[in-house]
Chain A
Amino acid sequence: MNQGDLPIYTVRGAPPRPMPTEGPRHSLWRGPVILVAVMIGWMLFTLLLAAFAAPAGVDQAVPIELGRNVTVTPADGWTSAADVWEAGPNAVSLKRAGAVVVFAAEAYDGTAEELLAFELDDLKGQFDSFRALPAAESSIAGDLPGLTVLFSGTADSSRLEGELAAATYGGTGVVMLAVAPAGQLPRVQADLDTMLETLVVPR
């Protein structure tokens, strides 16, 4: 209430009082012009930052190292899921649109079949009911032979579906486990395929 040196004359419900009319007309424009210049200027600056960081629209997401020099590059829109799934060492968890995927790479001397069977057994224990389709051959990291299983089940009264992929090479076992609410997996299937395809396994 009138704590500055401007007198006031306001009553409740009165229309707002515009600024005084003294001074040349252009001074009325100066403030709004500066304000809009700052607002739009900052927006353009951030757009330029993003454009410079990703020239020609090429996705340059930073690869994440799992372990044993295996790296995964998150597809666009995938972010860390460490808050919902603590993947532990040599692994990373990512999430998008309700789906969570874990990539892990550790020392493993067995075959892809054995690794897949081991992971499936572990997975079954975490579901109240569990069904899996027969394993299908696939390739990861370009041309590395692997096996993929699609599964569905119920855990804690939630209907879930997912994909488990496993491959081994030179004493390294690589696993991808994706889980999503029933009906959601197809929405991220293309991203999962891309991340498996672009996985880097040193050979």
Chain B
Amino acid sequence: MSLGRQPAYWLFLALMAGGVLIVGIEQLAYVNSYPGAWLLSIVLLAVTAIPAGLIIYRFDTFEPEPASLIAVAVLWGGVVALSFSAITNSSMLSFLQHILPATTVDSWGAAIVAPINEELYKGAGLVIIFLMARSEIDGLMDGLVYGAMIGLGFQVVENVQYFMYAAAEAGAGQLGPVVNTFFVRVVLAGLYSHTLFTGLMGFGIAYLVTQRAAPLGRRVVMAALFAVLAWAAHFVWNSPWLDSLMARSTGSFVLALVVKGVPFLVFLALLAVFARRREGQAFARLIATEVGTDVLSEVEFHSLQSGRKRRAALRRMKREKGPAARSWLKQLQREQMNLALFHGRVQSSDHPALEAQRDTIRMLKARLATVA
């Protein structure tokens, strides 16, 4: 069944249409008011967000996610989640301002309101991706990648807003405040923001939908725990804790950011290592019958299991045989990993799809031997 026949896909398009209207009008206002500052914001964010997105995309080395779904994740974060969050954040802040003193709302408002609304709407993006193509979320790493991508989209568009606020407060849309805000929000604090929060939530949702050997109750509890963890990371980050330390000096400011953000970042990194290890184990299990044959030698198998070893092999090939040989080897590695994926789908080891894949690998090996 094509995506076009998925109700979730049409829901995504409908919400995107509304969101584009809201975000688009806002961006147009920025362009009209502060064209130089807006353009600088886009350039600064592009040069940081694109590499960040590629790094996240490559976390899942064994089974990279379809580019179209990655685009859905980024757009959901930057357009749909941001639009809904803007409305609900504003409403909740307005509510708090009428029941709490202004000073309390100013200090704690962002910590109370933003995690509740923003994590809810970013998390909804994970659900819509699951509803659109549920078989694409078949491992813990997948949830982490989609979650981080949703967070990245949200973070980029939100940063444009902050940069524009800084430009507006400077009085004439100057560029200096944009660069200063970029330094604080992206260079110093970029690692601890929405990419981290939603990555945590994605891990929990992936656990819920993929670890079906575990009892349902445990899976639900785990998903809830990770949602709470994402909320907590966001709450701590937005809270006024350590504000007095931040005000002392630049060093203290950086130290406060590290104290607030690094524990959650380290935890997410450990989760990524764990998820990648699980991917490696799944790969080894699926490809086991091919190891030692003409399509996958023992050495190649060990090399494929580690991204570092794969890259080392590519570097060595380039150094010894040139860039063309490196390119063939890279394609060979990809097809050998795809062979494992094919094994996960078919029941018999002599399935025509497997045979075709083996032939592709043999052809690439022959071509590589010719270059050598």
Contacts and interface: CB of A to CB of B under 8 A. Distances in A.
A50 B91 CA distance: 5
A181 B176 CA distance: 15
Contact of A78 (B90, B102, B212): B102
Given A19-B135, A79-B102, A29 B7 contact: yes
Given A17-B135, A61-B102, A181-B171, 5 more contacts: A4-B209, A19-B133, A62-B101, A80-B102, A80-B107
Interface of A: 1-21, 28-29, 31-33, 35-36, 38-39, 42-43, 46-47, 49-50, 52-54, 60-62, 64, 74, 78-80, 82-83, 92, 94, 97-98, 181-184
B280 to A, nearest CB: 9
Nearest to A73: B102
Contacts of A3: 138-140, 210-211, 278-279, 282
B121 interface: yes
A140 B371 CA distance: 88
B342 interface: yes
20 contacts: A1-B286, A2-B282, A2-B286, A5-B212, A6-B135, A12-B64, A16-B136, A17-B135, A19-B6, A19-B135, A31-B7, A39-B120, A39-B121, A50-B90, A50-B94, A62-B97, A64-B101, A79-B105, A80-B107, A83-B243
A52 B10 CA distance: 34
Interface in B140-187: 140-141, 168-171
Interface string B232-254: 00000000000100010000000
Contacts of A43: 84, 87-88, 91
A188 to B, nearest CB: 12
B132 to A, nearest CB: 7
Contact of B68 (A15, A38, A183): A15
Interface stretch (B38-46, B123-131, B192-200, B223-231): B123-131
A2 B138 contact: yes
B117 interface: yes
B308 interface: no
Contacts of B94: 50, 53-54
A19 B134 CA distance: 5
Contacts of B15: 36, 39
User: Taking each of A1, A19, A52, which has the highest tally of chain B beta carbons within 10 Å of its own beta carbon?
Assistant: A1
Contact of B63 (A10, A19, A54, A181): A10
B124 A53 contact: no
B57 to A, nearest CB: 11
A68 B238 CA distance: 34
Contacts of A38: 124
A105 to B, nearest CB: 16
Contacts of B7: 28-29, 31-33
B69 interface: yes
B131 A35 contact: yes
Given A9-B342, A32-B7, A61-B102, A39 B171 contact: no
B133 A16 contact: yes
A184 B172 CA distance: 10
Given A1-B63, A62-B102, A18 B133 contact: yes
A20 to B, nearest CB: 8
B24 interface: no
A19 B103 contact: no
Contacts of A7: 344-346
5 shortest interchain CB distances as A-B pairs: A9-B345, A80-B106, A16-B133, A53-B98, A46-B91
A43 B135 CA distance: 30
A181 B100 contact: no
A36 B16 CA distance: 13
A78 B106 CA distance: 9
User: Taking each of A32, A33, A47, A183, which has the highest tally of chain B beta carbons within 10 Å of its own beta carbon?
Assistant: A32
B33 interface: no
B3 A15 contact: yes
Contact of B127 (A12, A20, A31): A31
A6 to B, nearest CB: 5
